[in-house]
Chain A
Amino acid sequence: MQVLLSSQQLADTIKVLSQQLSKSYPSLENIVFVGIQQGGVVIANDIVALLQQQHSSEKVQFGQLDITFYRDDIRKEILAPDTMNIPFAIENKIVVLIDDVLFTGRTIKAALDALLDYGRPAKVELCVLIDRKEHRQFPIQADYVGATVETKKTDKVKLVNREVVLIPA
């Protein structure tokens, strides 16, 4: 097991991401943030908390999205779902999807499918903590990237106890 981001580096990276988002969106009036279960929600929680500090006058809109029912490999394995909680309308809003690791792009594709069942957003952006760029299977790229790492396809990259670790196959 190799540590890719220590807990301090993780906190710094999240801070940078929230600053980038703040710069893109000085007002959060039409913006909603949606974390993807489970790792994405952890990261999104931190990002939203920082944004809330910077925008104390407005309430940052934050939801959790679960893609279990939208996976494309149901014949392989059935997974128990996590909580889905989108407590606001996304119609004509700018949605910032937040995930921990961007790998093949299949999770994001499923998340987009799930999101569109809640309405028609004006725009969707993607913010990820870690990008494993060379393994993409769909034409999906992130708008905000915390760190890009080189990995083997068989490696696993995970958020464990507030550290990002690489577990070789």
Chain B
Amino acid sequence: MQLSTRHLLGIKNLNKEDISLILSTAEQFKEVLQRPVKKVPSLRDITIVNLFYENSTRTRFSFELAEKRLSADTINFAASSSSAAKGETLLDTVNNILSMKVDMVVMRHSASGAPHFLSQHIPAAIINAGDGINEHPTQALLDAFSIKEKTGSLEGRKVAIIGDIMHSRVAQSNIYLLNKMGAKVTVCGPPTLIPKYISEALGVNVSYNLRETLEWCDVANVLRIQLERQNQVLFSSLREYSIAYGINRQLLDSLQKEIVIMHPGPINRGVELDSDVADSKQSIILQQVENGVAVRMAVLYLLANRS
């Protein structure tokens, strides 16, 4: 059994079997992470470069830890401290790195499609760690893994994605994945932060009412407002956004049922989530981070001989 693709560019290119294979392999890696020795020799022979053209804490650490727990050799690249700052093109940078016998590239870039471009020009396996506003496939996979772990299955599960849908690669990857696995998705946020034709294009429900959405869902995946990607005024102030779309304890307690709260991080506390929600029993935010390592180990492992 193997993945239908040589690269992980996005969830869009995966089929249901690929997703199931990654999630079931991740379960076995999660077991590895509970052992006295949290490391296996699987990728002993593989060298991986982490190419981060954009800031990251969680994803970069998570990938690096996953690589080390698989015994791969890793090198790290940050655009700010490299020759990219001297004007070297992306392709030149990568080709230079690959000539040092590197097998896999984990890449984050602010330009949507950067890993897709690279995949057409280099022989190494590429894993997209987030490209612009397009996709963040490993985040969607770890979110799915966490939902499955917490609630038992994805099929028929009602998932709300709340916040800045317009600028969120996490939202797009999650929508592709949840649709493929038979979950129901509603996106919720201010009209200016939800793409106009998203319902037709991606097959999701749209709601502008937070309370109704929370009443409907089993799981709420709450997103951050991506101020760094917004170049126009899309809502009047963070305070006003928080009043209309922020989730607080009072709101959660007034619902008919207990829902699961997720967030891909980084959280802007007091904006989209209050601290007493983010740190509550209902929140699985830190489990998501823990599961991220196991899911990324699965992806790296399954793509390791595809270069």
Contacts and interface: CB of A to CB of B under 8 A. Distances in A.
A73 to B, nearest CB: 9
B28 A78 contact: no
Contacts of B1: 79-80
Contacts of B36: 117-119
A84 B40 contact: no
A113 B21 CA distance: 25
Nearest to A79: B1
Contact of A69 (B40, B45, B46, B305): B40
Main secondary structure of the interface of B (DSSP, over half): loop
Interface string B40-56: 11110110000000000
A69 B25 CA distance: 10
Contact of B305 (A68, A74, A84): A74
Interface string A12-25: 00000000000000
B301 A84 contact: no
B28 A66 contact: yes
Contact of A80 (B21, B37, B39, B42): B21
B154 to A, nearest CB: 19
Interface string A104-118: 000000000110111
B39 A81 contact: no
Interface of B: 1-2, 21, 24-25, 28, 31-32, 35-37, 39-43, 45-46, 301-302, 304-305
Contacts of A71: 42
Contacts of A79: 1
19 contacts: A66-B28, A69-B40, A70-B42, A74-B304, A74-B305, A75-B45, A77-B305, A78-B301, A78-B305, A80-B21, A81-B28, A84-B31, A84-B32, A113-B41, A114-B40, A117-B39, A118-B35, A118-B36, A118-B37
B28 A76 contact: no
Given A77-B305, A78-B302, A70 B25 contact: no
Contacts of A68: 28
A36 to B, nearest CB: 15
A116 B31 CA distance: 15
A83 interface: yes
Contact of B42 (A69, A82, A83, A119): A69
Contacts of A74: 42-43, 45-46, 304-305
B43 A80 contact: no
Interface in A58-112: 66, 68-71, 74-84
A83 B25 CA distance: 10
Contacts of B32: 69, 84
Given A80-B24, A83-B28, A117 B304 contact: no
A87 to B, nearest CB: 11
B305 A81 contact: no
Nearest to B44: A74
A74 B302 CA distance: 10
Contact of B2 (A69, A78, A118): A78
A54 B38 CA distance: 37
B23 to A, nearest CB: 11
A76 B25 CA distance: 18
A93 to B, nearest CB: 14
Nearest to A116: B37
A75 B31 CA distance: 24
Contacts of B43: 74
A112 to B, nearest CB: 12
B25 A81 contact: yes
Contacts of A114: 40
Contacts of A84: 28, 31-32
A82 B42 CA distance: 15
- Among A75, A76, A78, the one with the most B-chain Cβ atoms within 10 Å of its Cβ is A78
Contacts of B41: 69-70, 113
B305 A75 contact: yes
A32 to B, nearest CB: 15
Contacts of A66: 28
Contacts of A119: 36
Nearest to A120: B36
A118 B34 CA distance: 10
Contacts of B42: 69-71, 74
A76 B42 CA distance: 12
A79 B301 CA distance: 9
B295 to A, nearest CB: 14
